Amino acid sequence: MFTQERAILEFERKFGHSASFVVRAPGRVNLIGEHTDYNDGFVLPIAIDRAVWIALGPPTTTQQVILHSMELKRSAEFSLENIKYENQGWVEYIKGVAWALQQAGYLLKGWEGLIVSDIPVGAGLSSSAALELAAARAFAAVSGYPWEAIKMAQIGQQAEREWVGVNCGIMDQMVSAMGHAGHGLLIDCRSLKTESVPLPPDITVVVLDTATRRGLVDSAYNERRQQCKMAARFFGVPALRDVSQTEFDAKAEALDPVVFRRSRHVIGENIRTLQAANVMSQKDAMKLGQLINASHVSLRDDFEVSSPELDQMVDCAQQESACYGARLTGAGFGGCAIALVDSSAVQNFTETVTINYRTATGLPPEIYVCTATDGATMTSI
């Protein structure tokens, strides 16, 4: 069933009256620009047609937020007068958003909400950023403040970093807040300026889930951030974004070999991302695919965030003639790869890749054929 309708119906069933609003915030995949956001660099993600939906009731007279998640079959509630961290999983993302909004001076009202989602959790498609942005839209709807997408992305990131305790960059929240249907969103992660870049015609973005989830992703991610910081210190700049290829070539030899490779990835990836936006504007799917392939090699060999299964999946995809390019997407170590595929051959591509990946690894992949959608939306009912 269409998820917006499902949220509205389930709300009525659960709370015994009609919802007043329904909000939606999408998950994302990143076309290119990986591990560049926390280096003040460039990213080029799309918001996908998988989302978190919340149907919400009229503002409650009290300061309670009363929630029910359909997927998890769990209910929870908290008071806006005294928000406490209780390690309650998904609810903490919503509490974190409420806390960050209050810190920023917003006066919030309570609500009842029914949450449904079709973003797989843990696959690297940013189900948590989507939940944060859906919560921010829900608070905006009931509390009556205007929707400011960039500010709300920052609120979501603050919730995730300071409340939930995951040290993420700004990419996921930005694209969930302000993606554009049919377009990638080029984000300058320093200025937060964005530009919508049309996807080349006749190509389809296919998400290839390896069916692997790695532990210790957070610690490996934090270690990469640390290494990038060390590199920036070595070059005497605020972030690796500020190092050009020429400066890198002139000085990098004196770097520790691991930090050398980490910085080579980030500097090259920023250049590739800007080139990707350029070739997309020229509708050049072939060149875009080559940049995507080069990104994977760099993530695998220099940034070292791939895994045998991700490499295998990328390999299976790249072997298909309908595939322009493929690479791991998101933080890495497990989760998903993406492929850019000729739209006329998507079905054959997904069938062949499924068989070949399963034969090579013994694992059943999940494949999602995606379209690029708009960022977070709100509808009054």
Chain positions contacting ligand GLA, by CB under 6 A: 34-35, 37-38, 168-169, 171-172, 330-331
Distance CA 262, CA 310 (A): 19
Which C-beta is closer to ligand GLA: that of 43 or that of 56? 43
CB of 9 to ligand GLA, least distance (A): 32
Cβ atoms of 101 and 155 closer than 8 Å: yes
Within 8 A by CB and 6+ apart from 236, the residues are none
How many alpha carbons fall within 13 Å on the CB side of residue 206?
A: 35
Cβ atoms of 240 and 280 closer than 8 Å: no
Closest residue by Cα to residue 180 from 343, 370, 41, 48: 48
Which residues are marked as active site?
A: 172
Task: Compute φ and ψ for 26, nearest 5 degrees.
Answer: -85, 160
Which tokens hold the place of 92? 């903490």
Which C-beta is closer to ligand GLA: that of 64 or that of 275? 275
Within 8 A by CB and 6+ apart from 77, the residues are 64, 65, 66, 67
Provide the greatest CA pair distance for the chain.
68
How many alpha carbons fall within 13 Å on the CB side of residue 235?
A: 27
Which C-beta is closer to ligand GLA: that of 140 or that of 328? 328
CB of 74 to ligand GLA, least distance (A): 24
Q: 208: exposed, middle or buried (C-beta count within 10 Å: 0-12, 13-18, 19+)?
A: buried
Which C-beta is closer to ligand GLA: that of 24 or that of 35? 35
Which C-beta is closer to ligand GLA: that of 56 or that of 189? 189
Residue 24 identity (one-letter amino acid): R
Distance CA 191, CA 115 (A): 33
Ramachandran category for residue 146: left, alpha or beta (phi over 0 → left; psi -120 to 50 → alpha): beta
Distance CA 55, CA 172 (A): 22
Residue of minimal CB distance from ligand GLA?
A: 169
Which C-beta is closer to ligand GLA: that of 169 or that of 184? 169
- In degrees to the nearest 10, what's the CA dihedral of 280, 336, 160, 11? 100
Cβ atoms of 8 and 161 closer than 8 Å: no
Distance CA 243, CA 234 (A): 11
